[in-house]
Each structure stands twice: as C-alpha cells, then as structure tokens.
C-alpha cells in the first residue's frame, strides 16, 4: 500500500482515494524533565527533553495514521 499526502504520485496512476486518515497522541510531561527544561530555559538553548517528547509523539501519530490507512483498504 502506498500512503501519500499528495494528489499525484509521479510515475503512478491513482485509481481510488480511500479517504483521510489522522493520527493523534497526547504526551504527559515528566516532572524531572520539566525541572531540567526549566533550568535549560533560564540558560538558553534547545530544550532537548521537549524535542525528544515531540519527536516521539510525531512518530506515534504517524504509526497510527498508517494503521488506519491499512484498515481502510
């Protein structure tokens, strides 16, 4: 199965659109990470704890979208 976010695929002919899929997730913050993030925020720079949490949430959402697309056909 090919899952895309565009209307066309170069070199392919789209014969059917099955519909929209979506993937959502909510992440709880961790007290220890919040303390470290707060300290890092004072000094400046990237808050790696939140960057990591965002990347994990994005990956989980993508996996859910693919699962939903596979169930649709």
For the cut 80, the answer to whether the pLDDT of residue 36 exceeds it is no
Whether residue 21 lies inside any domain: the answer is: no
Whether residue 26 lies inside any domain: the answer is: no
Whose CA is closest to 25, among 46, 47, 67? 67
Per the structure, the count of domains in the chain is: 1
For the cut 80, the answer to whether the pLDDT of residue 27 exceeds it is no
pLDDT category of residue 23 using cuts at 50, 70 and 90: confident
Q: How far is CA 19 from the centre of its chain?
A: 19
In our burial notation (b when 16+ CB lie closer than 10 A, e otherwise), range 38-51 reads: eeeeeeeeebebbe
Q: Domain of 59?
A: 31-72
69 three-class SS: helix
Whether residue 24 lies inside any domain: the answer is: no
Whether residue 36 lies inside any domain: the answer is: yes
């Amino acid at each position: 199965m090919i899952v895309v976010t565009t209307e066309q695929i170069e070199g392919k002919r789209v014969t059917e659109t099955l519909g929209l899929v979506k993937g959502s997730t909510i992440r709880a913050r961790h007290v220890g990470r919040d303390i470290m993030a707060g300290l890092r925020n004072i000094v400046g720079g990237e808050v790696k704890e939140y960057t990591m949490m965002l990347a994990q949430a994005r990956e989980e959402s993508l996996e859910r979208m693919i699962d939903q697309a596979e169930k649709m056909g």
